[in-house]
């Protein structure tokens, strides 16, 4: 199978005109709307919806794993387990896809973060609402997906200014 493809970047409403076919070694290069590059899904409108959905799916799978072995974990491992199973997925490529057009797109990832903390700490929900996680974020020095994105932007901005 051919690894090369063409993607035309455009605004969400734009229609791509008919371009001439590109041939490499007498094989036509396929035009695509999205592609996975180094584990990050890039779409032609740079909306990052598919990437955010993929990260949300990975987090859901990780939360399922956390449920299966949370009872065997000592409390001293909770933060390490969270960082390994949840935060690592969020951090990968966050500087690229974290803007996502608006912070509302990241809400599902934030909900998954909270769900993971509830799972690890075995926080019970009541009939009316779920248990709060803000104190856990604070106690463990963890950042929400939004704050992780801001931190990365500030860090890269600082590097640019310094160099």
Q: Tell me the torsion sign for CA atoms 42, 83, 107, 159.
A: negative
Question: What's the pLDDT band for 13 if we cut at 50, 70, 90?
Answer: confident
pLDDT of 69 over the 90 cut: no
pLDDT of 124 over the 80 cut: no
CB neighbourhood size of 15 (10 A): 5
pLDDT of 3 over the 70 cut: yes
Positions of E strands within the chain: 5-6, 23-24, 27-28, 30-31, 34-37, 40-43
């Amino acid at each position: 199978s051919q690894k090369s493809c063409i993607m035309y970047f455009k605004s969400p409403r734009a229609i791509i005109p008919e371009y001439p076919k590109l041939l490499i070694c007498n094989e036509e290069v396929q035009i695509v709307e999205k592609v996975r590059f180094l584990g990050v899904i890039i779409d032609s409108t740079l909306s990052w919806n598919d990437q955010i959905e993929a990260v949300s799916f990975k987090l859901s799978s990780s939360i399922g794993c956390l449920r299966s072995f949370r009872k065997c974990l000592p409390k001293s491992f909770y933060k390490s387990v969270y960082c390994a199973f949840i935060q690592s997925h969020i951090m990968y490529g966050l500087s690229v896809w974290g803007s996502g057009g608006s912070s509302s797109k990241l809400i599902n990832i934030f909900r998954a973060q909270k769900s993971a903390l509830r799972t690890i700490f075995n926080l019970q929900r009541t009939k009316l609402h779920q248990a709060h996680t803000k104190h856990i974020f604070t106690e463990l020095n963890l950042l929400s997906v939004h704050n992780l994105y801001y931190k990365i932007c500030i860090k890269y901005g600082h590097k640019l200014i310094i160099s």
